[in-house]
Amino acid sequence: MSLPLSCAYDVVVVGSGPTGSTYVREVFEQCPDARILLLDAGPKLGDPPGGHVKNIADDDLRARAQRAAEGPAPARPGRPGTRLLGTPQLPAAAVSTNVGGMGAHWTAACPRPGDSERIACVPDDAMDRHLTRAEELLHVTSHAFDRAPFADVVRQRLSARFDRGRPLARRVVPMPLAVTARADGTHTWSGTDVILGPAARDSRVEIADSCLCLRVLHDAGAVTGVSVRDVGTGQEATIAASAVVVAADALRTPQVLHASGIRPAALGRYLNDQPQIVHAVRLPDDVVATADTVTGRTRAEEGGIVPQSGVSWVPFTAAHPFHGQVMQLDASPVALADEDAVRPGSIVGLGWFCAKDITAEDRVTFSDTATDAFGMPEIAVHCRYTDRDLDSIEGARKAVAEAGAALGTPLGEAPFLLPAGSSLHYQGTTRMGAVDDGTSVCDTFSRVWNTRGLWVAGNGVIPTATACNPTLTSVALASRGAGALVEYVRDRAATAVGSTAA
C-alpha cells in the first residue's frame, strides 16, 4: 500500500478494529462533507476489508490470512491471527496487526455489562442508548444458534445450576453474538466490514493498510495531524488533520501516545487482564443420540459454522462475580479437545472470566531506547495477581467444575487457569474518568485531557473491573465519543466557513 493519497483530512483514525471503525462510520453518516483517513499498520486480509476470517471457507486461505495478521517476521505466533509480545508477567499477551484488528478474529460475543461492570461515570440511560447503537453496528443477535440441536439442553442444565436467586435479566441465556444467520442455518461473523458498512467503499473514506502511525502531531495543546510510515517501503509522510482518534488497542494506543510525547499520569496504568478458567465437557450419550444432529460436519461447505450446541452465557452478578460462556468447540478460540475424534457437537468448551482487581501498579510502560518489530517504543508489562484475584480465580474454578458436572462428563483432571494474558481482553490503559485528577487519560466522551482534537478508543478506555467480553462496551463508548467528535468537526467546519465569509 502506498501512503495516503491526500496530505490533509478532517479526521484521521489510527487503528481499524471495531472501535476505530465505529468512529469512521458515525462521522461518515453525520458529517457528509468530512474527509476521513483510516490507518492500519497491517495488511488487508481479503475483500471486503475488515471481514472476519471465519467467513473464509477455504482452510488454506483462512490460515494464510491468519498468518498475515501476525505482523513482521520473525513472529512469535500466539492464538491464530495473533503475535505474542513476549512479556514475562503477561506471557500470553498478543496482538493482531491487520485491517479489522482483532475484529477479524474474535469470538463475536457481545454481552451487556451488569452490576458493578457498569461504568459509573457514564449515566445509565445514556450508556444503554450507546449499547443499543453498538448492537446495531455489530449486528448482534441472541438467536444465531436457535437451530442448534444441543443448545436447549445445555442451557436448561446451566439454568438449573445457576439461575436460582438471580434477577431475570441476569439468568442463563443464549450468548448475544455479532453474527448473521444464513438461510441454511450457518453464519456470517461480523468483522469491522459490518461496522463500516457503506463507508468502506465511499470516496470520502480512505483505508490505508500497511501504514504505521509513528506519532500524533500537536502544537499549543491541539492536534495538527499524524506522522506515518509505509511499512513496505519505509517512506514517511506528515498528514494534517483537524482531529485524530487513536484506536490501536489497549497496548498500542498508549504506545502511540507515549511516542507522541502525550503522557498523562494515568497513561498505561490500571491494566485489566481478565483471568480465564477453562474446561471441556462431553455431553451425555442420550442427549447426543436423541438430538437431530448435523451431518458430521463442523464447518459448512461454503464457510461458517454449523449449529450444534451453540453459545450460552452465564452472566456476571455480585453473587457470581464471573462471566461464563459455554460454546461448541469450533466457536471457541481455545482448543480443548480433538473435534475430529468425537461426534460433532458432543463436546462443549467452558470458559469463565474473572474481574481483575484493578490497581495503578498493573500497567504497560515504554522504552525510550529499545524498539519493537515496527520501530515503536518497546512495550513492557507489569502485572500481578492480588490476593483478591487469587480468591476470585479459585471461585471461578469451582463454578466451572459445577457447570461441567451439570452438563455431562468433564474431560481432563480439573478446570485450569490459562496463562496470564490469554483473554486478549486488555482494558484500562487509556481509561476514562469524570475529572482530570491523574487517574484517567480521557473524559467520559473519550477526549484526551488537555489535547484538543484528540480521542482515544478501544477496550483501554473502559475504567471498570469487568468480567464480560468487552467489545460491545468499547464500541458503545466509541459511539458516544463519536458524537462529541461530530460536534467538533461541525464546529471546525462552521468556523472555517465563517472565516472565509469574513
The bridge status of strand 36-39 relative to strand 8-14 is parallel
What residues contact residue 431 under an 8 Å CB cut-off, 6+ apart?
266, 270, 439, 440, 441, 442, 460, 461, 462, 463
Burial of 165 (0-12, 13-18, 19+ CB in 10 A): exposed
3-state secondary structure of 106: coil
The bridge status of strand 8-14 relative to strand 236-246 is parallel
Q: Does a cis peptide bond (omega within 30 degrees of 0) precede residue 43?
A: no
What residues contact residue 57 under an 8 Å CB cut-off, 6+ apart?
299, 300, 301, 302, 303, 304
The bridge status of strand 454-456 relative to strand 236-246 is parallel
Nearest alpha-carbon partner for 454 in 137, 98, 23, 96: 23
* Active-site annotation holder among 105, 130, 187, 425: 425
CA 499 to each of CA 124, 221, 492, 496: distance values in angstroms, whole numbers, following the listed order: 40, 22, 11, 5
Handedness of CA 388, 394, 400, 405 (dihedral sign): negative
**In the chain, what is the greatest distance between 2 CA atoms, to the nearest angstrom?**
81
Query: Does the annotation count 425 as an active-site position?
Result: yes
The Cα 223–Cα 212 span in angstroms is: 18
Element holding 318 (H helix, E strand): none
- Cell numbers 466457536 correspond to what residue? 331
| DSSP-derived secondary structure letter, 49 | T
The Cα 432–Cα 446 span in angstroms is: 6
**Cα-to-chain-centroid distance, residue 125:** 23
Cβ(255)–Cβ(458) below 8 Å: no
End-to-end CA distance of the chain: 41
Q: Which residues of 269-299 are buried (b: 16+ CB within 10 A; e: fewer)?
A: bbbbbbbbbbbbbbbeeebbeebebbeeebb
Phi-psi region of 259 (alpha: psi -120 to 50; beta: other; left: phi over 0): alpha
Which residue numbers are catalytic? 425
